[in-house]
Chains A and B, each alone.
Chain A
Amino acid sequence: MALSGQNLSQSVAGDFYTQRWETGPDDRTMILNMGPQHPSTHGVLRIIIEIDGEYVLKAEPVLGYLHRMHEKMAEVRTYIQYIPNMGRVDYVHALAWNWAYMGAVERLAGIEVPERAEHIRVITTELNRIASHLLWWGAFLIDLGAFTPILYAFDDREKILDLLQIPTGSRLTYSYFRPGGVAADIDKEFIEGVKGLVPYMRSRMPMYRDLVTDNIIVKERLEGVGVIPLETCRLYGATGPVVRGSGLAYDVRRAEPYSIYDRLKFDIPTDQGCDCMGRYLVRMAEIDQSLRIIEQAVDELPEGPYLVKGAPKVRWKAPAGETYFAVEGARGKIGVHLISDGSNKPYRCKLRSPGFSNLSLFSEVAQGVLLADAVAILASLDLIIPELDR
């Protein structure tokens, strides 16, 4: 299809996207390319910004620098062979993606997951969520200009990765879940480690608060910056800490309970601020809630199998049909729309990534803000580029 802009003369500066850029009426503005390689983008995200002095007039993210076509890969691999892809869609909260895909497969085929496996899934996914929030916390503060916090965050995150390495065998791109359970049982060492980690993390949280949250500079940088009204979240489909930071207690673990989450006690932290500070506080409070969940799941961990008997093998064929399964990832609602024609490969596998919807509202929110605040807003959305591009 012929696209307008493609036939522009080669002598015009810039590439496809900057050439198509319609500048506003003011001719004193400047177009700034932030990324795809830029210290304050979390990966290869590119944003074209039109600025007037220090103020952003218009901003437009350009995606696709890390696009790998995971949805096509789903159609050429069997259901089981596709599991490792899930750890690579969002490598920071990989287990939530594992779960979203496994949940869809299990719902499609009506596979029941043993109790012990459900508990293991909850424990590992929540540990992974804390690790994800810690990584975000460090990176977020780097974007604001504070370098040291990430060293503390990585130190604590390291402890979680060490633990997760025991059952999963990997530190980052987990592919641990299987249809009907998990790949390996958790052992005593892991359980003892988790039991020790919970009080340790709790003891660290006041320090995080004293060091950063109550810091006057952080407050000045975040409060009232990047206000996202709840209505905007709704129209863009933003979820996770973004919608909770705008005052609505929406969490897939409560809205559409899966696994054993309906039996676990935890709160959904919200903040009425709608600003970067709101989203910051929600994520910090979520670490506490995840610790609560882990504690309960470890206490109630039943004996029994970690994988259902006769679990699907590599060439397993799923029954024909269509299903949608959503889980709460660290960044929001992860959805997998899976369609099977009865063969051993998915007919269509649509991946709904929360970051994609969350970032799409950036153009609207960034209008008229200071350039430095635009960076704070981007970071407060908690972007993981492989997840945006898939």
Chain B
Amino acid sequence: MSAEWMKGLPVLSSAKMSPQKTGLVHSVFLSVEELGNAAKRLCDHGYSIEDVSVVDTVQGFMVVYHFDRLTSPGRVALRVLAPHDKPEVPSISEIFSGANWHERECHDFFGVIFTGHPNLVPLLLPEDAKFHPLLKSTEEKRAIPEIMSPGDVEVSTPTFEALFPKPEREEAGAEKPDEKSAKEKSTGPGPSAVEGKE
């Protein structure tokens, strides 16, 4: 079942992940409005912030927040999607002070605006930098289902299903065939096949 901290939280989706494969225990998609609430709950449940990162995808900027508990480990990823034309996500630096610098870094690299951030000025890039180095061109951009598996979905909503269209989900839900095909594709030139664990 879903974790204690998540109870009653309106999520777009929540999925159990395999820690051996993804390093995560839970992956949760949220609407931008619920992000603050979710972070607050994680904070109340003793989680610590690990990092904030952004992935530029076809569907928009996927902002990923990693949390882990220092006492009983189990990594949780919160994800929100910010559209390219209005890349705004509320800042959680009021809740987790450590998010402050991570959000500034994400603003540097992607131009995502963290609303309510106390000091959203360049951290790593020069103060007069007029570019965001990690933005991808249209050809380079991938859709979210192409770069991650939805995991073992527990809670789902229409918004999430639109993100992960049905066939992708079934394939990933079954896992084995998906992985096999990925492995076949991954065989590089020469006899450099991967000696898998399976």
Select B22's contact among A243, A256, A324, beta carbons within 8 Å: A324
Contact A321-B134, Cβ < 8 Å, known A313-B188, A313-B192:
no
Q: Do the beta carbons of B48 and A313 come within 8 Å of each other?
A: no
B75 at interface (Cβ–Cβ under 8 A)?
yes
Q: Do the beta carbons of A347 and B23 come within 8 Å of each other?
A: no
A36 at interface (Cβ–Cβ under 8 A)?
no
Select A237's contact among B96, B111, B186, beta carbons within 8 Å: B96
A75 at interface (Cβ–Cβ under 8 A)?
yes
Q: How far is the CA of A328 from the CA of B127 in the complex (A)?
A: 33
Q: Do the beta carbons of A235 and B149 come within 8 Å of each other?
A: no
B6 at interface (Cβ–Cβ under 8 A)?
no
B interface footprint on A1-25 (CB within 8 Å = 1, 0 otherwise): 1010110000000011100100000
Select B185's contact among A3, A112, A317, beta carbons within 8 Å: A317
Q: Do the beta carbons of A360 and B97 come within 8 Å of each other?
A: yes
A63 at interface (Cβ–Cβ under 8 A)?
yes
B29 at interface (Cβ–Cβ under 8 A)?
no
Select A324's contact among B66, B122, B187, B189, beta carbons within 8 Å: B66
Q: Which of A182-190, A285-293, A350-358 contacts B (4 or more CB under 8 A)?
A: A350-358
Q: Do the beta carbons of A357 and B98 come within 8 Å of each other?
A: yes
Q: Do the beta carbons of A234 and B48 come within 8 Å of each other?
A: yes
Contact A310-B182, Cβ < 8 Å, known A320-B146, A324-B22, A360-B97:
no
Q: Which of A163-171, A334-342, A367-375 contacts B (4 or more CB under 8 A)?
A: A334-342
A259 at interface (Cβ–Cβ under 8 A)?
no
User: Which residues of chain B from 10 to 68 have a CB within 8 Å of any chain A CB?
Assistant: 19-24, 43, 46, 48-51, 53, 55-56, 64, 66
A323 at interface (Cβ–Cβ under 8 A)?
yes
B174 at interface (Cβ–Cβ under 8 A)?
no
A248 at interface (Cβ–Cβ under 8 A)?
yes
Contact A111-B96, Cβ < 8 Å, known A64-B123, A322-B147, A323-B21:
no
B interface footprint on A65-76 (CB within 8 Å = 1, 0 otherwise): 001010110010
Q: How far is the CA of A67 from the CA of B125 in the complex (A)?
A: 7
Nearest Cβ in chain B — how far from A364, in angstroms?
7
A319 at interface (Cβ–Cβ under 8 A)?
yes
B81 at interface (Cβ–Cβ under 8 A)?
no
Select B142's contact among A1, A112, A341, beta carbons within 8 Å: A341
Q: How far is the CA of A234 from the CA of B47 in the complex (A)?
A: 7
> For residue A15, which residues in chain B have a CB less than 8 angstroms away from its CB?
127
Q: Do the beta carbons of A319 and B185 come within 8 Å of each other?
A: yes
Q: Do the beta carbons of B196 and A110 come within 8 Å of each other?
A: yes
B163 at interface (Cβ–Cβ under 8 A)?
no
> For residue B123, which residues in chain A have a CB less than 8 angstroms away from its CB?
63-64
Q: Do the beta carbons of B50 and A335 come within 8 Å of each other?
A: yes
B8 at interface (Cβ–Cβ under 8 A)?
no
Select B191's contact among A310, A325, A342, A360, beta carbons within 8 Å: A310
Classify the interface of chain B: helix, strand, loop or mixed: loop
Contact A75-B97, Cβ < 8 Å, known A107-B20, A320-B146, A321-B182:
no
Select A107's contact among B23, B97, B127, B187, beta carbons within 8 Å: B23
Q: Do the beta carbons of A361 and B97 come within 8 Å of each other?
A: yes
- Determine the interface band of chain A, counting residues with CB < 8 A from chain B: 35 or more
Select A342's contact among B75, B98, B186, beta carbons within 8 Å: B186
A344 at interface (Cβ–Cβ under 8 A)?
yes
Q: How far is the CA of A111 from the CA of B197 in the complex (A)?
A: 6
Q: Do the beta carbons of A315 and B188 come within 8 Å of each other?
A: yes
A312 at interface (Cβ–Cβ under 8 A)?
yes
B interface footprint on A170-181 (CB within 8 Å = 1, 0 otherwise): 000000000010
> For residue B3, which residues in chain A have a CB less than 8 angstroms away from its CB?
none
> For residue B197, which residues in chain A have a CB less than 8 angstroms away from its CB?
110-112
Q: Can you list 27 A-B contacts with CB-CB less than 8 angstroms, sorted by A residue number?
A: A1-B111, A16-B121, A17-B127, A64-B125, A67-B124, A67-B125, A71-B134, A72-B133, A75-B134, A110-B21, A111-B196, A112-B197, A234-B48, A237-B48, A255-B70, A315-B188, A315-B189, A317-B187, A319-B183, A321-B147, A324-B75, A340-B147, A357-B51, A357-B101, A361-B97, A361-B98, A364-B97
A264 at interface (Cβ–Cβ under 8 A)?
no
Q: Do the beta carbons of B51 and A335 come within 8 Å of each other?
A: yes
Nearest Cβ in chain A — how far from B87, in angstroms?
11
Q: Do the beta carbons of B148 and A339 come within 8 Å of each other?
A: yes
A126 at interface (Cβ–Cβ under 8 A)?
no
Q: How far is the CA of A64 from the CA of B129 in the complex (A)?
A: 12
B179 at interface (Cβ–Cβ under 8 A)?
yes
Select A234's contact among B70, B109, B113, beta carbons within 8 Å: B70
Q: Do the beta carbons of A352 and B196 come within 8 Å of each other?
A: no
> For residue B158, which residues in chain A have a CB less than 8 angstroms away from its CB?
none
Q: How far is the CA of A134 from the CA of B123 in the complex (A)?
A: 30
Q: How far is the CA of A74 from the CA of B186 in the complex (A)?
A: 18
Nearest Cβ in chain A — how far from B36, in angstroms?
15
Q: How far is the CA of A78 from the CA of B29 in the complex (A)?
A: 30
B91 at interface (Cβ–Cβ under 8 A)?
no
Q: How far is the CA of A389 from the CA of B104 in the complex (A)?
A: 13
Nearest Cβ in chain B — how far from A80, in angstroms?
10
